[in-house]
Amino acid sequence: MAMSVASSICTLLPFSKPHNSVPLFSSQTKKRCRIIISSVTEDRQAASVVSKDKKVLEDSSSPSKDITEVATDTDILTGRAINAAIVLGFGAFAVTKLLTIDHDYWHGWTLYEILKYVPEHNWIAYEQSLKANPVLAKMAISGVVYSIGDWIAQPIFEFDRARLFRSGLVGFTLHGSLSHYYYQLCEALFPFQQWWVVPAKVAFDQTVWSAIWNTIYFVVLGLLRFDSLDNIYGELKSTFLPMLTAGWKLWPFAHLITYGVVPVEQRLLWVDCIELIWVTILSTYSNEKSESRKSEEVSETAGSSTPSQNSEVTKKIVVLFFCHVLRFQSPRETYHEMN
């Protein structure tokens, strides 16, 4: 009697082998466990074969990768060459136009006389263009300034030509014309000559006008990039206050001169000179938000393959637990057989 009780207790121990005379499970149950473990082992062997084949294919496709890398390097060098040609061509054109303002009257002039009258005569030509067509002249100045400002915000010969074109287009079509009418409106709203008029104009400029223009700039650039309205709204919401407060560190001091010294018709030229700094900041803020959003989308897409790896680990744990409960093998033996 004691012998039979002891043998029964030993049979119930988790890692003891079942007694021959009193089997806990039938041979059919053991056979099913062996089938499950063997199927998992075959799956792992098949997966290793597939991975080896994939590695062989990747090794065999390495020449195509080299060709792709060479093509990429060629595209980069071509882009740099095009950008360098644009920069040098534009610079040569601008310098030539400025220096040859008096080329019809150069007969008998010395080099000193030519250089002496270049600044004065260019200024006279600018004032004449303001009288002839003030809006178009200011649009041209703003377009050039916004293009140069965006170019400064990028690598010198590796800049994005589409991005530079978008910024210049916004400056040409919107900033020049809107600023022309804004300064006239500001003079109509504050037609007084008291001491407080200049601070009032500066405060109005840095609250109402800055908020309106920053919004226009971000929205139009987003539309030119073909961004969705939700993305444009999100970028504007996250950058509106930082950009407004960043402007308060620069523009109040510059606008004390704008509204206190510079005449109305010359204000945009002065403001555009300062905007070479500001447009660099604006362009950097706007394009960094767009690029960071795109990089986040790419990282989310790349991370979508992790659930398949987790499911493989879960399957191994379930099989180990199943075989341990049936006591067909110990967990350690089952794990070694699967690996």
How is the chain split into domains, by residue range?
134-297
Instruction: Look up residue 167 and give its amino acid.
Output: S
How many angstroms from the chain centroid is the CA of residue 192?
46
How many residues would you count in the chain? 339
- Tens digits of pLDDT across the chain (339 residues): 444 444 444 444 444 444 444 454 455 555 555 555 555 455 555 545 445 555 545 555 555 556 676 667 787 888 888 888 888 888 888 888 888 888 887 777 888 888 888 888 999 999 999 999 999 999 999 999 989 888 887 887 788 889 899 989 999 999 999 999 999 999 999 988 888 999 999 999 999 999 999 999 989 999 999 999 999 999 888 889 988 888 898 899 999 999 999 999 899 999 988 888 877 776 676 666 555 555 555 454 444 444 444 444 444 444 444 444 444 444 444 444 444
Can you tell me the distance from the alpha carbon of 327 to that of 24, in angstroms, rounded to the nearest whole number? 9
Return the closest-CA partner of residue 336 out of 39, 37, 133: 37
- The C-alpha atoms of residue 39 and residue 150 are separated, in whole angstroms, by 62
268 touches 183 (CB < 8 A) = yes
| Dist CA 46 CA 48 (whole Å) | 5
Helix, coil or strand: residue 250: coil
DSSP codes joined into one string, 222-248: HHHTT--HHHHHHHHHHHHHHHHHHHT
- Spatial distance between the Cα atoms of 280 and 163, rounded to a whole number of angstroms: 12
How many angstroms separate the CA atoms of 22 and 7, rounded? 9
- The residue written with tokens 């703003």 in the block is 142
The fraction of the chain above a pLDDT of 90, given in percent, is 30
How many angstroms separate the CA atoms of 263 and 276, rounded? 20
The residue type of 258 is T
Residue 169 DSSP class: H
CA 323 to CA 31: how far, in whole Å?
12
